[in-house]
Amino acid sequence: MSTDARQTELELSPEIYLLLACACTCIDREAAHRIKEAARRSLDWDRLIETSLTHGLMPLLYENLNTHCADIVPPSRLKQLKDLFQKNAARSVLLTGELVDILDLFATEGIEAMPYKGPAIAISIYGRLALRQFSDLDILVRKRDVWRCQQLLISRGYQPHFDITERQLPSFLKLGYVQMLTRDRGQSVVELHWGIASRFFMFPLDTDRFWERLRSANLMGRKILAPSTEDLLLLLCVHGAKDLWERLEWICGIAELIRAHDDIDWNALTRNAKELGAERILLLGLFLASDLYGAELPGSIVRRIDEQPTIRSLAGEVRENLLQPNPAPRGLRQRILFHIRTRERLTDRFRYCTRLLFT
């Protein structure tokens, strides 16, 4: 947790404070002491556990409570968290096995595919599958491969959410960015992406340069395609901004990624974001990671943040909503205004509004 976050401890509920304190894989002596002190406070354990599940931080909450203050936590609550942790871990292994099988299926047809979020992110950011909650599989492919991938998944027993014909495909690809397919009565879900946000959001992911920068990574003994650290940071920031940063784990993941990699090419990262009109989106995500989780940012990034007051204003909105015990869902008007304010280019704001009005 950052210094600023500690200074506002009194503004946080005890449950949110403890959750923030536990949302880290590298707990030093000071952080461990903070967790112990927070666990000794009068806590609404039902609210804490429910909030941890909502924000995707249940695995880290259990991991750090069990490691640093198991003697303080009520035994029944520790067991409840352990059961949830083990159930999540078991499902993660099953989903990862299914992902590997799907990637192998695509590879036999010569299709390049990149796991997006889910197991790949769990390994890349946290180092262990069990430390991240995920319930579906997200896979990125090129637009040209979407139809073949869908047919291959259908042959594996999946049913598409949108039942489209090959003739309807061009319009579907233009208007959307993901096709959801389910199997086993909705127990297995694959989201087949050719983008990471709707066309309203104006983020052109499907570029040759992005695919050229993919690197090799390891997942359960299998080599997979993965984005560079710089591209992954940008993708995570875009994903968070698209959904108004409504989960703490999205910000935690960015902070953990920064901590795990001391070789980030910050100049390349900001240059790429600027070319895509997503510099403000990037800086907002980085600032949130620094503000809430103490992620260390280089001076050049801090200066860029300080030059744009809108970033701190947006971060204040995010923080106010995130850290409430019972945040109210934000309506369409709030979402539209937030999206518009995250874009630095007037042309992107105009196109966002135009597409929203006429599509």
pLDDT of 3: 40
**pLDDT for the residue numbered 291:** 96
Do 194 and 141 form a contact (C-beta atoms < 8 A)?
yes
| Secondary structure element (H or E) that encloses residue 189, with its range | strand 188-193
State the span(s) of the chain assigned CATH 3.30.460.40: 95-226
Residue 339: CB partners within 8 Å, gap ≥ 6? 200, 201, 241, 242, 352
Give dist(CA 68, CA 35) in Å, integer: 8
Domain 95-226 -> CATH class: alpha beta
Instruction: With beta carbons less than 8 A apart as the criterion, state whether 121 and 129 touch.
Output: no
In a structure prediction context, what are the per-residue pLDDT tens digits for the chain, which is 359 residues long? 554 444 444 478 999 999 999 999 999 999 999 999 999 999 999 999 999 999 999 999 999 999 999 999 999 999 999 999 999 999 999 999 999 999 999 999 999 999 988 999 899 899 899 999 999 999 999 999 999 999 999 999 999 999 999 999 999 998 889 999 999 888 889 999 998 887 767 676 656 778 888 999 999 888 999 999 999 999 999 999 999 999 999 999 999 999 999 999 999 999 999 998 999 999 999 999 999 999 999 999 999 999 999 999 999 999 999 998 777 778 889 999 999 999 999 988 888 888 777 76
DSSP letters for 228-266 = -HHHHHHHHHHHHHHTTT--HHHHHHHHHHHHH-S---H
Q: What amino acid is encoded at 116 in this protein?
A: Y
* Residue 161 · residue 215 · CB < 8 Å: no
| CA-to-CA dists, residue 242 to 100, 189, 199, 338, 341, angstroms | 28, 21, 11, 9, 12
Do 261 and 227 contact (CB within 8 A), yes or no?
Answer: no
Burial 84-103 (b: 16+ CB within 10 A, else e): bbeebeebbeebbebbbebb
Q: Which two tokens stand for residue 90?
A: 């078991």
Task: Please tell me the predicted confidence (pLDDT) of residue 10.
Answer: 44
